[in-house]
A and B are shown apart, each in its own frame.
Chain A
């Protein structure tokens, strides 16, 4: 069965600290992988996708096929990064969203 796991419900860091939000997936084949961000119960916004290999708002995500992980990283967290982050592998016919990790960046 297709499954995605975000093990941390809450990640709390201080401004300027490095951040890593974990995502592990269990899929057959090589799914496309996305990270979405949701600020204060607003709409979800696409943060980045694996295939484009770009960095958005300082975030990058590395695909590790051996570990089937797609962790989201940022070297220096900012207060405006506080939000819910969802990892979403593209499964057969649909995206499957993880349960999300709330990132809280304190001053």
Chain B
């Protein structure tokens, strides 16, 4: 058990809809990362938050947004969903915001767009 909790485990929805994925980092970790894993694109870094502030941005679409709350949990919002958004979405956390820190991953949310 990594200590990183993601909910829900599975999400099935339709094109055009909006969903919110939730992540609770390990106790004491200040940084949260979001990744998308799909069969054709592999593991893609989306965005990082550190202590409530956006720290780094990767290949995140404009339809996607994220935030980190004062209790350090994070939410990833995906809107105007398309079939290609079907993927596994992982959250990871680390103690600090430095990329040299090891990251601890959650079990992921499997998003299926019908």
Give the interface of A toward B (CB within 8 A): 31-32, 34, 36, 41-46, 49, 86, 90-97, 99-100
Q: Which of A32, A97, A100 contacts B45, CB < 8 Å?
A: A97
Q: In whole angstroms, what is the CA distance A36 to B106 when docked?
A: 13
Give the interface of B toward A (CB within 8 A): 2, 4, 33, 35, 42-43, 45, 48, 55-56, 58, 88, 90, 92, 99-100, 102-108
Q: Are A95 and B45 in contact (CB under 8 A)?
A: yes
Q: Are B103 and A46 in contact (CB under 8 A)?
A: yes
Q: Are B43 and A94 in contact (CB under 8 A)?
A: no
Residue of B4, B56, B100, B106 contacting most chain A CB atoms (<10 Å): B100
Q: How far is the CB of A99 from chain B (nearest CB, A)?
A: 5
Q: Are B43 and A86 in contact (CB under 8 A)?
A: yes
Complex contacts, B42 vs chain A, CB 8 Å: 97, 99-100
Q: Which of B43, B55, B107 contacts A97, CB < 8 Å?
A: B43
Residue of B55, B88, B103, B104 contacting most chain A CB atoms (<10 Å): B103
Q: Are A32 and B100 in contact (CB under 8 A)?
A: yes
6 more contacts with CB within 8 A, not counting A32-B100, A97-B35, are A34-B102, A92-B99, A93-B56, A95-B33, A95-B103, A96-B45
Complex contacts, A90 vs chain B, CB 8 Å: 99-100
